[in-house]
Amino acid sequence: MVHVMVEPIHPFKVSYRPMALEDVEVVHRLDEQSFNLPWPERSFRYELTQNPNAMCWVAEVETADASRVIAGMVVVWLIVDEVHIGTVAVNSAYRRQGIGRQLVARSLLAGALKGARTGFLEVRRGNLAAQTLYLQMGFEMVGERRRYYHDNDEDALLMTLNNLDQVTLRTWIK
């Protein structure tokens, strides 16, 4: 049994693995915790079972009592030569410990290994935490979609990371 809402127990060990269908319930709860417009649970099932261009991972934390907790997730799509980050989130109890960066770096590297040359994503104008993460990894703002998010009419900023370079991406991975 894996849980989503827990207090972090330090120190903990994080591993990264492909998302499984059994993870979807917890991943969906993490998504709901993290976004105003969460995906329906069936969207995660679809990505896992129906979309050959999707790659989905989770970050799993092993706590001191050896129980396992899904602390983060990412879904990316490989679209021609682009890795499009569909969603990424880390359980609020485990943020600011490098898990988000690992999920992004590992999914970009997986895309690069399949021939992708560019990373792409949309982020809310007000989401400074995520923007800081992406800027730190070399993403640049390349455009915007005005009033893209229908819950509050917030703009989406478009960000790309050009020339995905496996060597550089590997330097992010721990």
Ligand X SMILES: CC(C)(COP(=O)(O)OP(=O)(O)OC[C@H]1O[C@@H](n2cnc3c(N)ncnc32)[C@H](O)[C@@H]1OP(=O)(O)O)[C@@H](O)C(=O)NCCC(=O)NCCS
Is the CB of residue 58 less than 8 Å from the CB of residue 70? yes
Gap between the Cα atoms of 8 and 67, Å rounded? 12
| 110: contact with ligand X by CB under 6 A | no
CB of 133 to ligand X, least distance (A): 3
| 125: contact with ligand X by CB under 6 A | no
Work out the burial of residue 131: count CB atoms within 10 Å of its CB; fewer than 13 is exposed, 13-18 middle, 19 or more buried.
middle
- 43, 127, 160, 168: which one contacts ligand X (CB under 6 A)? 127
Q: 112: closest CA among 72, 160, 167?
A: 167
For residues 32-62, one letter each, b for 16 or more C-beta atoms within 10 angstroms of the residue's C-beta and e for the rest, the string is eebeeebbeeebbeebbeeeeebbbbbbbbe
Going residue by residue from 61 to 100, which x/- string records binding to ligand X, judged by CB under 6 A?
Answer: ---------------------------xxx----xxxxxx
Please say which residue, 34 or 43, places its beta carbon nearer to ligand X. 34
Contact segment (CB under 6 A) with ligand X among 14-22, 44-52, 124-132, 162-170 equals 124-132
| 129: contact with ligand X by CB under 6 A | yes
CB of 3 to ligand X, least distance (A): 17
For the segment 138-167, give every residue that binds ligand X (CB under 6 A).
Answer: none
| 38: contact with ligand X by CB under 6 A | no
Position closest to ligand X via CB: 100
Please say which residue, 2 or 158, places its beta carbon nearer to ligand X. 158
Gap between the Cα atoms of 97 and 109, Å rounded? 20
- 130, 157, 161, 169: which one contacts ligand X (CB under 6 A)? 130
Is the CB of residue 15 less than 8 Å from the CB of residue 60? yes
Alpha carbon 114 to its chain centroid, in Å, reads 18
